[in-house]
Chain A
Amino acid sequence: MANMELNDVQILLVEDNDDDAKLTIHALEKNKMEKNLVRLKDGEEALDFIFASGKFLETRNIAFPPKLILLDIRMPKVNGIEVLQKIKCAPLTKAIPVVILTSSKEDPDIQKCYNLGANSYVVKPIDFEKFALTIKDIAYYWLKVNQPPSLENLYL
């Protein structure tokens, strides 16, 4: 079948800033955790991907979610908060670990994200090396330490 790899994604990175996306992918590559990674540039694309709609209608199956979503907050079209809300409200997608990865240290954002069900909230370190280490730790934790539910009967 075409595009099977879109149904076997490890990390879905939703980030509109090209530099930040590059840094993130580079850090993952360095630690050999870039396999089956998809990067999208705004919240609308992310929703289409996650819910297998729009431009991903033919190539994605909602029952095979990415193992981890790294989600920026401030993005064009649909922002990260709205994406988070939609993921955490739908029984089929609710269990996907969502880590908010943002430069916003503002407490209302942090609070709001946790209230909407974000699994974790990480502020992007400004320092390049720290940023890379943080990405490594996030990927390691969510892909190797955390136990997601099985895909069978995913309805929560």
Chain B
Amino acid sequence: MEIAAEIILVEDNPSDADLIKRALNKNNVANKILHLKDGQEVIDYLFGEGQWKGRTTTNTPKVILLDLKMPKVSGIEVLKRIKSNPETKGIPVVVLTSSKEDPDIKECYKLGVNSYVVKPVGFEDFSRTVAQLGLYWLLINQQPKW
């Protein structure tokens, strides 16, 4: 059976990934999250390559939550790939990172990120922010159909 994920979470840090999934689950979207652990995996998923060979790539997610600092392929590189390809350009990408560095923020906007969210430090704030983020991109925002 093929997964039609609504949210793709690209996060190499297991404890952050856990927190994010738990916060999103409060909006009852547990079964629609696909967690990928590095930049290469998400590229393979989106373009139907590697272990995702043969996937129907027209099943695009409603949003991709993308960490920046990851092994193999960085978040910036992934963002560049997504936003420079007409097939994937329309997928909303939210960078969700602990980096508050302005050069990172600017670079992401320059590459066409839809939104940039800094992970709040406290557990409560983190959880609230992620819940709001999930609500916005799943229920309020309208993504293109392919």
Binding site for B on A (CB under 8 A): 94-95, 97, 105, 107, 110-111, 114-115, 117, 119-123, 134, 137-138, 140-142, 145-150, 152-153, 156
Contacts and interface: CB of A to CB of B under 8 A. Distances in A.
A122 B89 CA distance: 18
Interface in B114-146: 114-118, 129, 132-133, 135-136, 140-145
Given A110-B143, A120-B141, A145 B117 contact: yes
Interface residues of B, number: 27
Interface in B34-70: none
B78 interface: no
A122 B117 contact: no
Interface of B: 86, 89-90, 92, 100, 102, 105-106, 109-110, 112, 114-118, 129, 132-133, 135-136, 140-145
Contacts of B115: 97, 119-120, 141-142, 145-146
30 contacts: A94-B110, A95-B109, A97-B115, A110-B90, A110-B144, A111-B90, A111-B144, A114-B89, A114-B143, A114-B144, A117-B112, A119-B114, A120-B92, A120-B114, A120-B141, A121-B144, A122-B140, A137-B135, A137-B136, A138-B136, A141-B133, A141-B136, A145-B129, A145-B133, A145-B136, A147-B100, A147-B105, A149-B102, A149-B105, A149-B106
Chain B interface mostly helix, strand, loop or mixed? mixed
Contact of A147 (B92, B116, B141): B116
Contacts, number: 83
Contacts of B86: 115
CB-CB nearest 10 A-B residue pairs? A114-B90, A95-B109, A156-B110, A111-B144, A141-B136, A110-B144, A149-B106, A149-B105, A146-B115, A147-B116
Contacts of B109: 94-95, 148-149, 156
